[in-house]
């Protein structure tokens, strides 16, 4: 048996994959992709086939795979120490990373950094800080939480309580804590004032809702939300787990509307996509409320075993160095324009009903001519992405929206190839004319 067969056999026998119907996965005619190597925006499988990493390895990778600077920083840290406890001690890369992250905001408006492991835990941290903050302020009635329809903030119970995608949350509904879901700012403003005064925090994915299918908020919405929160005394949590680290064209999405939140959740791209690491940034106002004598019991009792992991923090520091020294955001701007042009050309093919782009992220929605969606059971989006694989592009759909979120290092030529693969795959699966 060759290696691939061996890995596939182990996997099918013992692994359980996320968001995956394992019956189809384990069936004899499904050949799982075994990815063995990466270089820049390219991934290689165990049979030697190469692909463009069209969704940045589920939205994590930023500067490409095997980036030499991140590897070097991690090697150096590995030789020193991989992990030590952040409970009772600190370590050099974590301490430096908190100061570097804080410095990314003008006048150190978000000077405190709490590390955790992934997007979901970064959100959990913000939720616990927000609710404890109001208790410490003597306002325990301020415990309401507002999230948006279509929102996605992670899969742990706290984070999924905030979720607004019924497919992911419905089954667990009776175990979720109460969250008011709204569709627009108008709905928030229309809440009776006694309700608004009991809101602890509002949470939103700024500029775009990713997992809802790359849905763009109207321009100005984020700034208006900040104003509304301020007028109600409500805390604002921004989930930049996806939008952070250049995806929208700026380092953080919130910069585009000059908004500073009370909590900023970062994860996916924080280490450049090399290791799991998350950070929840917050203000002095929040932090100071937790200060007191031991007996006052104001301490935040929260943490994980790998909080402040030194190896992951070293990777994150290297990723920030790359942004600065390799002028990543400057070089990205012309390629955002190239992506826009390539996508515009896609609009002409039948069955492409909508294309939504935000910076270096895009969603291409397919529908039959009638404009009503394909039946969901047909898994049209999945079949198109499977077809695109044969043309050298790896990505996944959200329902019938094909997602293109490549690493920021993706070249013009690779972008052209990626969009071309999608074009061929759409025509292959949907046909090249309307029926």
- Chosen residue from 54, 93, 154, 269 binding ligand PLP by CB under 6 A: 154
- The answer to whether 153 contacts ligand PLP (rule: CB under 6 A) is yes
Name the 3-class secondary structure at 81: coil
- Chosen residue from 205, 262, 365, 400 binding ligand PLP by CB under 6 A: 205
- The answer to whether 158 contacts ligand PLP (rule: CB under 6 A) is no
Q: What token pair was written down for 390?
A: 């044969």
8 Å CB contact between 367 and 17: no
- Kindly state the helix (H) or strand (E) to which residue 356 belongs, with its residue range: strand 352-358
8 Å CB contact between 236 and 261: yes
- Chosen residue from 38, 40, 210, 397 binding ligand PLP by CB under 6 A: 210
- The answer to whether 160 contacts ligand PLP (rule: CB under 6 A) is no
CB 32 to ligand PLP: min, Å: 20
- The answer to whether 206 contacts ligand PLP (rule: CB under 6 A) is no
CA 425 distance to own-chain centroid: 26
- The answer to whether 261 contacts ligand PLP (rule: CB under 6 A) is no
Beta strands 401-404 and 397-398: pairing type?
antiparallel
Counting runs of H as helices and runs of E as strands, what totals does the chain give?
16, 17
CA distances from 21 to 17, 27, 326 (A): 8, 11, 41
CB of 124 or CB of 387, closer to ligand PLP = 124
| Candidate segments 117-125, 216-224, 354-362, 374-382, binder of ligand PLP by CB under 6 A | 117-125
The phi, psi pair for 321, rounded to 5°, reads -60, -40
- Kindly state the helix (H) or strand (E) to which residue 331 belongs, with its residue range: helix 328-346
Pick out residues in 36-75 that bind ligand PLP (CB under 6 A). Answer: 59
> What is the total count of residues that contact ligand PLP (CB under 6 A)?
15
Q: What CA–CA distance (Å, rounded) separates 124 from 375?
A: 35
Q: What CA–CA distance (Å, rounded) separates 373 from 20?
A: 22
CB 117 to ligand PLP: min, Å: 8
- Chosen residue from 125, 129, 179, 267 binding ligand PLP by CB under 6 A: 267
- The answer to whether 124 contacts ligand PLP (rule: CB under 6 A) is no
CB 108 to ligand PLP: min, Å: 25
What string of DSSP letters covers 7-33? HHHHHHHH---TT--HHHHHSTT----
- Chosen residue from 53, 124, 239, 365 binding ligand PLP by CB under 6 A: 239
CB of 19 or CB of 301, closer to ligand PLP = 19
CB 155 to ligand PLP: min, Å: 6
CB of 311 or CB of 387, closer to ligand PLP = 311
Q: Is 222 exposed, middle or buried (0-12, 13-18, 19+ CB in 10 A)?
A: buried
Other Cβ atoms within 10 Å of 411 Cβ, number: 14
CA 307 distance to own-chain centroid: 19
| Candidate segments 192-200, 238-246, 339-347, 359-367, binder of ligand PLP by CB under 6 A | 238-246
| Candidate segments 146-154, 218-226, 281-289, 414-422, binder of ligand PLP by CB under 6 A | 146-154
- Chosen residue from 86, 114, 148, 152 binding ligand PLP by CB under 6 A: 152
Which positions lie near ligand PLP, rule CB under 6 A?
Answer: 59, 118-120, 152-154, 205, 210-211, 239, 241-242, 267-268
């Amino acid at each position: 048996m060759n290696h691939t067969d061996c890995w596939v056999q182990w996997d099918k026998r013992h692994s359980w994959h996320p968001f995956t119907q394992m019956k189809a996965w384990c069936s004899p005619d499904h050949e799982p992709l075994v990815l063995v190597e990466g270089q820049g925006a390219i991934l290689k499988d165990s049979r030697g086939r190469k692909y463009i990493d069209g969704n940045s390895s589920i939205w994590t990778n930023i500067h490409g795979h095997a980036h030499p600077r991140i590897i070097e920083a991690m090697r150096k840290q590995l030789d020193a120490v991989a992990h030590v406890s952040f409970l009772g001690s600190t370590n050099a890369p974590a301490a430096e990373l908190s100061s570097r992250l804080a410095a990314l905001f003008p006048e150190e408006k978000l000077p405190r950094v709490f590390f955790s492991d992934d997007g979901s835990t970064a959100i959990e941290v913000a939720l616990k800080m927000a609710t404890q903050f109001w208790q410490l302020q003597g306002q325990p009635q301020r415990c309401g939480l507002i999230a948006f329809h279509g929102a996605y903030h992670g899969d742990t119970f706290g984070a999924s309580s905030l979720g607004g995608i019924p497919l992911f949350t419905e089954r667990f509904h009776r175990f979720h804590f109460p969250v008011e879901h709204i569709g627009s700012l108008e709905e928030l403003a229309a809440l009776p004032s006694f309700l608004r005064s009991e809101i602890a925090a509002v949470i939103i994915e700024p500029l775009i809702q990713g997992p809802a299918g790359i849905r763009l908020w109207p321009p100005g919405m984020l700034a208006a939300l900040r104003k509304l929160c301020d007028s109600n005394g409500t805390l604002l949590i921004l989930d930049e787990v996806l939008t952070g680290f250049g995806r929208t064209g700026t380092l953080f999405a919130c910069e585009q509307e000059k908004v500073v939140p009370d909590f900023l959740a970062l994860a996916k791209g924080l280490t450049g996509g090399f290791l799991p690491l998350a950070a929840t940034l917050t203000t002095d106002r929040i932090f100071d409320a937790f200060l007191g004598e031991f007996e006052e019991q104001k301490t935040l009792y929260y943490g994980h075993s790998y909080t402040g992991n030194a190896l992951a923090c070293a990777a994150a520091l290297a990723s920030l160095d790359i942004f600065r020294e390799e002028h990543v955001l400057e070089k990205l701007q012309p390629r955002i324009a190239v992506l826009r042009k390539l996508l515009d050309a896609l609009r002409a093919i039948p069955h492409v009903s909508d294309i939504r782009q935000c910076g270096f992220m895009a969603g291409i929605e397919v529908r039959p001519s009638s404009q009503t969606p394909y039946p969901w059971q047909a898994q049209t989006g999945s079949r198109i992405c499977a077809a695109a694989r044969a043309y050298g592009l790896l990505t996944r759909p959200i329902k019938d929206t094909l997602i293109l979120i490549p690493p920021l290092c993706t070249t013009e030529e690779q972008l052209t190839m990626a969009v071309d693969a999608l074009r061929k795959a759409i025509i292959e699966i949907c046909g090249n004319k309307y029926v």
